[in-house]
Amino acid sequence: MKTYTTRRALLWLCLALGGALPALAAAQENGRNIAREARIVVVNVERLLSESPRAQALSASIDAEFAPRRQQIQAEVKRLRELSDKLGQDTPNLSDREHLARSREIGDLERAVRRDQAILQEDLLERKMQERSRMAERINEIIASLRTRQGIDLVLTRTIWHRPAIDITDKVAQELEK
């Protein structure tokens, strides 16, 4: 009984698909005609935001802007290591009171360094996001301009796969450099 039901369901499925396939093929052909009429392009915005010469120059300038703060924190870390090593060496010769005072000093310095590192990371991330946002706005302006000049109907920014012929990312990158 079970085999009969399974075979019957498969038969109905085959008949349904057999009837639907010509309609699907016709719809697909119709879609191709519409796509040929429409001008569709692809812009890889993420690549522009990370790999374009302008993005790399912005990243380098931001790194240079934050370099002094980073060096200051590295100096504090070095001082922290030195104090910690010195405490380790001097521990047998120190009284409990001196050991406690130095330990507190090291703990305070360690908390300050961690706080400074967190603030630096937060400021750096905020600055990068500001510049990325400005650059994204500029990219959108360029895309809108190209869209009107070249009669583009649809601009895709994310695709799984596309033909290289419809990719205008390099054109947008050239406009971005001007």
**171 CB-side CA count, 13 A:** 16
Q: What's the fold here for domain 38-177?
A: Protein Binding, DinI Protein; Chain A (3.30.910)
Of 61, 178, 70, 177, nearest to 130 by C-alpha is: 61
Q: Domain-by-domain residue ranges, the chain?
A: 1-37, 38-177
Q: CA 125, CA 127: separation in Å to the nearest integer?
A: 5
Asked if pLDDT for residue 2 goes beyond 90, the answer is: no
Query: Looking at the DSSP assignment, which residues form a beta bridge with residue 40?
Result: 154
Its pTM stands at 0.67
Of 3, 55, 91, 15, nearest to 169 by C-alpha is: 55
pLDDT, mean of residues 137-157: 93
Query: Looking at the DSSP assignment, which residues form a beta bridge with residue 97?
Result: none
Provide the 10 A C-beta neighbour count for residue 140.
Answer: 15
Distance of CA 50 to the CA centre of its chain: 8
Distances (CA, A) of 92 to 87, 99, 102: 9, 9, 13
The pLDDT tens digits of the residues spanning 38-56 come to 789 999 999 999 999 999 9
Question: Are the C-beta atoms of residues 126 and 152 closer than 8 Å to each other?
Answer: no
The pLDDT tens digits of the residues spanning 3-39 come to 556 666 555 545 454 554 455 455 555 555 554 567 8
Go through the chain and tell me how many residues it has.
178
